[in-house]
Structure 1
């Protein structure tokens, strides 16, 4: 199921949108009404798609997207906005938006655009770093063309690391990505998954993980 973060300050519109999409589009939506709340939410949670308004009470949607992209977050974005002018459209796409829909719009058209965008993103679910290949569709990892025994949680952790190049991944970020509320975890298991990733790149400097004591890990590639 596609995980969507909706940023919209119109509560009535948000409720209508959430009800329709969750019933007909096979998505799970988390809703926030300010850019500040969104930044807090995406710091420790992963989403497949952002639906963003532009005219917001704090940071406008285009400036917010610029901040997100500068943080190397490449999550697909669709702007849902009442703006129709060419200048705003140009700004949005140049900042990193993937699509625009002008309010009012047909809900079914939004679903079609979401599905189309998710299909395009799915085709990019292959990461190759030197002689190491991560396939997130088949959940397989290869080194020098040979399959490597690699746990699903280690694969999820690599994806989290990959999405946070030149950033610090905290222990809380790791726990939220790898375990749900009903599961238990241990510091030892985190170290095992980190070491399994380090082992893949032990013969190269293509992907570097530094331990930041009592905080987490710094990622550089």
Structure 2
């Protein structure tokens, strides 16, 4: 099954659109049909999609124009272009505006399904890779390699400093209390009566902010801490 992925079908031929939608439904996908480019862009503004199937020949905008507009709003969503032409120049034009794959009409549904699954898998892997790197301003935290980098310089952190920075970066812009930090970083849910959190925040400040004009770790007196850029 597809885990309820939602697909936007942009196709002005009613029979083709209906054929694709019915086939996707049997595979567990949710799909929405747009018969014009402008209708597709309207749907894209108001709904979340995991993939776009886009016909190159539409009655108003071309599929290439629609793809360009989609890419301005979302650089990651997979776009599969459908064409009745299949010439090399069409493919190159499509790739230039951000198409991920091409399928020439007429096509077998199983071939379309294989392409869709491959694009969604690639997209999911990309998202996982992005989730492994947290970024705030010029500070990066690579969760896979366990490395912190600021302005290109590697910062040596202890395991607890790394966990504390990870928690602050995942909650960037939000004020987290000492109790929040104790629960999520040290796995204790009570006030120990010691200042160990302040001590570790200061350790982190000395490594992350010292020597930089843009201070990222801020104390919100009486409330806790927040990590954010100016």
TM range (shorter): 0.5 to 0.7
- 1:87 matched to 2:84? The reply is no
Contact persistence 2:172–2:228 (CA under 8 A)? no
Matched, 1:33 2:57: no
RMSD across aligned C-alpha pairs, in angstroms? 2.7
Aligned-residue offset at 1:144: 3.7
Give the TM-score normalised by the residue count of structure 2. Answer: 0.60
1:171-202 C-alpha deviation (Å, 9 max, x unpaired):
xxxxxxxxxxxxxxxxxxxxxxxxx5522774
Corresponding residue to 2:25 among 7, 22, 25: 22
Unaligned runs of 5+ in 1: 136-142, 150-154, 156-195, 209-221
Question: Which residue in the other structure is 1:4 paired with?
Answer: 7
- Aligned to 1:5, the other structure's residue is in SS state strand
Equivalences, count: 154
Post-superposition offset of 1:94: 1.2
TM-superposed deviation, 1:16: 1.2
Using the size of structure 1 for normalisation, the TM-score is: 0.62
Identify the residue that residue 77 of structure 1 maps to in structure 2: 79
Where relative contact order (Cα < 8 A, 6+ residues apart) is larger, the structure is 1
Larger Rg: 2
1:64 aligns with 2:66: yes
How far is the alpha carbon of 1:22 from its aligned partner?
1.1
Tell me by how many angstroms 1:26 deviates. Answer: 2.3
Q: Which consecutive residues of structure 2, in runs of 5 or more, have no partner in the other structure? A: 145-160, 176-215, 217-225
1:25-174 equivalent positions in 2, closer than 5 A: 25-125=27-127, 126-127=130-131, 128=133, 129=135, 130-131=139-140, 144-146=162-164, 148=167
- Residue in 2 that maps onto 1:169: none
